[in-house]
Amino acid sequence: MTNTDNELFGVVPIIPTPFTDNEEIDEDALRSLIDFAIDGGIKAVCLPAYASEFYKLTDDEKLQVVRVAVERAAGRVKIVAQSNHPSLKVAIKLAQANVQAGADVISLAVPRIFSLPENSLKAYLSEFLQSIPNTPVLIQDFNPGGSSISVGFIKELMDENPNFKYLKLEEPLCAPKFAQIIQATNDKIGLFEGWGGLYMLELVPIGIRGVMPGLAVADILQKIFTLRSSGEDTKAFELFERVMPQIFFSLQNMELFHYAEKELLIARGVLSNSIARKAAYIPDPSSISYIRELNQRILDIVNDEKFAIRPVPVENSLY
């Protein structure tokens, strides 16, 4: 890795939004989630993103969770503040407020509600980047209807905006594109893989900076990332193969992911409920049983001394 300007490396988990019984943001639980990330050796966290149910939060609530996270982190972990909005005007307001609150990095998802040509996307992203010129920005692109932004687009955006530091892409068969981006940008853009870390073992040797999964398995994926990066491939694959069934099953549906993620955080002694704001996925009895079984397998991993993952306190685990 040649780029010393990029400071985000390894796993940057998405912090879920915890709710009370009446679906209000539970600030105390959010503080516990930040502590859990720090205790797991995580160096940076991101919120509120898709895995935080950002699309169910008001703009004030989006700013609220960032403020709470920044205050709780107190410099112990970097806060990547997602500032998504299809309206550029609103996205800029969110980003500038998050910078004022003390966020270390601002993240923005490429607007994909409707198909837009790249010149439209470039106008949107360029103005956004220029609105916070002294703050590093992570751009995320997940395009279910087609490919993500092109290599040439990424290079132009980087050349024109020095604060464009990181890029998260979520698409299958992306290794060749990641390699092309690294070459075209001279490794000046820190690349992250999303989608739960599904492709991480393929992409680590290419030179990605890290992955951005859910919080509940972040410490395990950090271990895998470290093993793979240091050439301990057999150990990396062994651990990856054990954690992947839970990740793969939960990512069949984003709302199912919220349930499985929060249930696992309950099992790991961090949350007290798995409430997601409605509309939320209501799992059938078979799914509930299978998720519980998959989550128990995660607990087995963290309690397996050979993997050196922090164990689950017996008195805290509800499983």
For the chain, how big is the Rg over CA atoms in Å? 19
Contact residues for 266 (Cβ-Cβ < 8 A; gap 6+): 272, 273, 274, 318, 319
Q: Is 200 labelled a binding residue?
A: no
- Measure the CA–CA gap between 92 and 213, rounded to whole angstroms: 25
CA distance 140 to 167: 6
Q: Cis before residue 280, ω within 30 degrees of 0? A: no
How far, in whole angstroms, is CA 227 from its chain's centroid?
20
Annotated binding site for pyruvate: 212
Residue numbering of the annotated binding site: 212
